[in-house]
Amino acid sequence: MITKDDNELVYEVIHGNISSFEILIERYQKTIFNIVLRMVNDEETARDLTQDIFIRVYEKMGSFKFSYRFFSWIYRIAANETINYLKSAQRIELHKLTEKLVNEADSGSEREETIQKLRKGLRQIRPDLRLLLLLKYFFGLSYEEMAEVLQLPEKKIKARLFTAREVLREELLKNDFFDHDR
């Protein structure tokens, strides 16, 4: 079976073939959901936001420029939607509440505890910096791809990522993440 590339599927969607959109959902839902989940730290919210992102993608597909790569376009929509969500004051309150609940629920093995500390550290940094770390370390995007997704020059991406690493380390230090803290 020939695997169609993303742009070909987009072409088919905007010409009425809804099953091509199903393939795109299958291809990207896991990545998008996991980025969003690590951004909002709540599975239910991440689920809703991921759905919203795909609906947004479907609605905007008619204006997709075929000179772009689809993955960078969908990641950009996901990034914007999530950051907009987090920017809302109400959401931040909810976010804090969720954080509290998650912290209370932290328990289990040492390994699990370390992962929870890492997650907590990530939650405590600015969403835009967090997104950069997620794209780079969790989803393995290159600097070039990150620049394409976030529509920023590569040099700026590198500089921001440097800051993001510094901030994350500071937060992890506060959370006694490192072995030498013990």
Partner 1 sequence: MTDKKIKDLIYRSLEKELTPEEQQNLDRCLATHPGAARLYKEWDQISDQVNREKENLVNIDLKQAILSRIDMKKYAQQEAKPEIRITTALWHRPQVRYGFYFLMGVFAGFLLFSFLKVDITGSKVQTQDMKGTLYDSRSFDDMKVADNILYESPLARAVFAVRYSTKIVEARIDLSSLYPIKTTVEFDFNNFEVLNVQNVSVNDQTTAMAASNFLQINNVGDNKFIVQLYNKNSLQHNIDFKIYQNDLPLYQNSVTVNKE
Q: Which residues lie near partner 1 (CB under 8 A)?
A: 13-18, 21-22, 25-26, 29-30, 33-34, 37, 43, 47, 50-51, 54-55, 58-59, 61-62, 111, 114-115, 118-119, 137-138, 162, 165-166, 168-169, 172, 177-180
CB of 31 to partner 1, least distance (A): 8
Confirm if 39 and 80 have CB atoms less than 8 A apart: no
Output 92 or 143, the one with its CB closest to partner 1: 143
**Minimum distance from CB of 18 to partner 1 (Å)?**
5
**Two structure tokens written together for 85:** 């969500």
Burial (CB count <10 Å: 0-12, 13-18, 19+), residue 49: buried
Alpha helices in the chain (DSSP H): 6-13, 18-40, 43-60, 70-87, 89-105, 110-123, 127-133, 143-150, 154-174
For residues 66 and 92, which CB has a smaller minimum distance to partner 1 in the complex?
66
Which residue number, 29 or 93, has a Cβ lying nearer to partner 1? 29
Compute the least distance from the CB of residue 55 to partner 1, in Å.
Answer: 6
CA–CA separation, 146 and 35 (whole Å)? 14
**Which is nearer to partner 1, 92 or 159 (by Cβ)?**
159
Please state, in angstroms and as integers, the Cα–Cα distance from residue 143 to each residue in 25, 39, 72, 140, 165, following that order: 25, 20, 12, 10, 15
Find the shortest distance in angstroms from Cβ 17 to partner 1: 8
Q: From the CB of 104, what's the least distance to partner 1, in Å?
A: 20
